[in-house]
Amino acid sequence: MSDKAKTAKLIYDGKEYELPVVEGSENELGIDISNLRAESGLITLDPGFKNTGSTTSSITFLDGEEGILRYRGYPIEQLAEQASFLEVSYLLIYGELPDKATLEKFENDITRHTMLHEDMRKIFDGFPATAHPMGVLGSLMAALSTFYPRAWDPDRTDEEVYLTIIRLIAKMPTIAAWSFKNELGHPLNYPDNKLDYCSRFLKMMFSVPAEEYEVDPVLVSALNKLLILHADHEQNCSTSTVRIVGSSLANIYSALASAINALGGPLHGGANQAVIEMLEEIHEKGISMEEFVERVKNKEMRLMGFGHRVYKNHDPRATILRKSCDEVLQKLNRKDPLLDIAKKLEQVALSDEYFIEKKLYPNVDFYSGIIYRALELPTDMFTVMFAMGRLPGWIAQWKEMLEMKQPIGRPRQIYTGETARDYVPFDKR
Ligand code: CMC
């Protein structure tokens, strides 16, 4: 932060109020209104927090105008190309890239905690086969708090917090894969701890007792990149949920279950599923791009995977994924008609005044689904994959929120209902 004390002035009802201006390390500016109500009786009103910073944070920087995304200062492009997901997880949570020994310990600790308590299987048995895997994931994340009762005590030692973090990153793929197996009605696979994180997950997902399963390195590399690209995205809906639930000192499993449920909505992580359903509809019904875009412009529907609250130029994650789609399909020697449709749709939309004027560009969800399809994941697992990737970001934000002793999240409102009136007993109404 800069030392220069910048201020803003607000004049209301003939009185002038001086408000401190907070400056971030990337020169972002925010007016600190925390004392405004005490001094003036005024609050600020900003539905959807479109212009409100809920916190300062040193985890992720994004510049929506320039299309920049960095984790702890490292560009997403470099991390996606060169790092491993667990390395990035460590970076997000602990602030620095791990050295070799630290990373090995982190990986080994995670590998040792991949199993779920056998009683968790009984919970799985209670879900109908039609259960959406996101519903299963959210429920089981909440259920983990019952297996680790120490998590309910806000007075935790650093070692306990470390162990909780390890458990979460270790068990998430097991829960995710089991939620898929539940849907298929297949036996649940136990984690193979000889494998690395991504390979282990793929094996739990796709191996069946009757057949040998060989992990394809192309799929491992694609999955590693996808997880990194989703790993954090500053104060989005689900992350804000983690921070707000966690600010009540609720246990982390509950905070993460809330985040998973927030992520499931079609305007957030659920968009990756919605994109594929949209592309499939265009493909199956033979709808022309022009006709589809016209429907969007007439507001009959949204172009899923387009638009972003923050990115108003391009989403760097979408740029990486667009390239990655071609590479993965080529390496697997596969074609996907939906990729051609997506590219054409993007072309038509990006040259249309409606999208140009509203600054609507493809976001991370526009192309990720094509890669998930190449991994042979069913559409309703896409958001589960997003959650797996986002987990370290949620954990990092939860930890930061506690360390900075963020007060309990409790926004105010402007009340617009009836003013005081007298109760009339039922027989006199
Ligand atoms: N298709 C058509 N029109 C759109 C779209 C879209 N995808 N997105 C925004 N608009 C229009 C919207 O109708 C509005 O028009 P008008 O000014 O005429 O009322 C204008 O653009 C501004 O939209 P908004 O809803 O006020 O913008 P927002 O910042 O509140 O919403 C968004 C951001 C991501 C929810 C929105 O762009 C959207 O619904 N996109 C489709 C869903 C999607 O892809 N979500 C994934 C987001 S990225 C990953 C993640 O965060 O999980």
Residue 97 within a domain: yes
Query: Are 25 and 81 part of one and the same domain?
Result: no
Q: Identify the three-state secondary structure at position 149.
A: helix
Return the structure tokens found at 278: 């949209």
Query: Are 30 and 88 part of one and the same domain?
Result: no
Closest residue by Cα to atom 14, ligand 1, is 358
Query: Are 131 and 32 part of one and the same domain?
Result: no
Using alpha carbons only, give the angle 272, 274, 276 rounded to the nearest 5 degrees: 75
Q: How far apart are CA 419 and CA 429, in angstroms?
A: 19
Residue 219 within a domain: yes
Contacts of 390 (CB under 8 A, 6+ apart): 230, 231, 232, 233, 238, 239, 259, 263, 269
Tell me, what's the pLDDT at 201? 97
Instruction: Please report the atom of ligand 1 found closest to the CA of residue 363.
Output: 48
Q: Tell me 150's DSSP state.
A: G
Domain harbouring 13, CATH code: 2.20.28.60
Contact 264, 134 (CB under 8 A): yes
Query: Are 49 and 80 part of one and the same domain?
Result: no
Query: Are 16 and 135 part of one and the same domain?
Result: no
User: Which residue among the candidates 232, 315, 336, 365 is catalytic per the annotation?
Assistant: 365
Instruction: Please report the atom of ligand 1 found closest to the CA of residue 263.
Output: 52
Choice from 60, 267, 299 to test ligand 1 binding pocket (greatest atom count within 8 A of CB): 267
Closest residue by Cα to atom 32, ligand 1, is 308
Weakly modelled stretches of the chain, pLDDT under 70:
1-4
Query: Are 92 and 223 part of one and the same domain?
Result: yes
**Domain interval for residue 167:** 75-227+255-262
Q: In angstroms, what is the span from residue 309 Cα to ligand 1's centroid?
A: 7
Count of C-beta atoms within a 10 Å radius of residue 178: 27
Q: Give the closest residue to 152 by CA, choosing from 256, 261, 252.
A: 252
Strand partners, 306: 362
Return the structure tokens found at 416: 């617009």
**What are φ and ψ of residue 141, in 5° steps?**
-65, -45
Give start and end residues of each alpha helix (H) in 289-415: 289-297, 316-331, 337-350, 353-357, 364-374, 382-403
User: Which residue among the candidates 132, 308, 315, 336 is catalytic per the annotation?
Assistant: 308
Q: In angstroms, what is the span from residue 253 Cα to ligand 1's centroid?
A: 30
Residue 37 within a domain: yes
Residue 196 within a domain: yes
Q: How far apart are CA 240 and CA 309, in angstroms?
A: 14
Residue 211 within a domain: yes
Q: How far apart are CA 368 and CA 112, in angstroms?
A: 30
Residue 221 within a domain: yes
Q: Give the closest residue to 395 by CA, choosing from 227, 161, 171.
A: 161
Number of domains in the chain: 2
Query: Are 89 and 43 part of one and the same domain?
Result: no
Distance of CA 412 to the CA centre of its chain: 26
Query: Are 129 and 195 part of one and the same domain?
Result: yes
Strand partners, 63: 68
Tell me, what's the pLDDT at 5? 85
Residue 193 within a domain: yes
Order of all β-strands in the sheet with 60-63: 60-63, 68-71, 74-75
Q: What is the pLDDT of residues 333-383, one digit of tens each?
A: 988 999 999 999 999 999 999 999 999 999 988 988 888 988 889 999 999
Question: Does 308 qualify as catalytic in the annotation?
Answer: yes
Domain harbouring 117, CATH code: 1.10.580.10
Q: In angstroms, what is the span from residue 362 Cα to ligand 1's centroid?
A: 11
Query: Are 103 and 170 part of one and the same domain?
Result: yes
Query: Are 155 and 198 part of one and the same domain?
Result: yes
Is any atom of ligand 1 closer than 6 Å to the C-beta of 269?
A: yes
Q: In angstroms, what is the span from residue 303 Cα to ligand 1's centroid?
A: 8
Q: How far apart are CA 32 and CA 10, in angstroms?
A: 12
Closest residue by Cα to atom 34, ligand 1, is 308
Q: In angstroms, what is the span from residue 60 Cα to ligand 1's centroid?
A: 22
Return the structure tokens found at 379: 């559409």
Q: How far apart are CA 150 and CA 266, in angstroms?
A: 34
What angle in degrees, to the nearest 10, is found between the helix axes of 118-125 and 133-147? Answer: 140
Tell me, what's the pLDDT at 161? 95
Query: Are 148 and 223 part of one and the same domain?
Result: yes
Query: Are 169 and 223 part of one and the same domain?
Result: yes
Residue 374 within a domain: no
Contact 232, 71 (CB under 8 A): yes
Q: In angstroms, what is the span from residue 304 Cα to ligand 1's centroid?
A: 8
Q: What is the pLDDT of residues 374-427, one digit of tens each?
A: 888 999 999 999 999 999 999 999 999 999 999 999 999 999 999 999 999 999
Choice from 50, 229, 238, 302 to test ligand 1 binding pocket (greatest atom count within 8 A of CB): 302
Choice from 242, 309, 352 to test ligand 1 binding pocket (greatest atom count within 8 A of CB): 309
Question: Does 196 qualify as catalytic in the annotation?
Answer: no
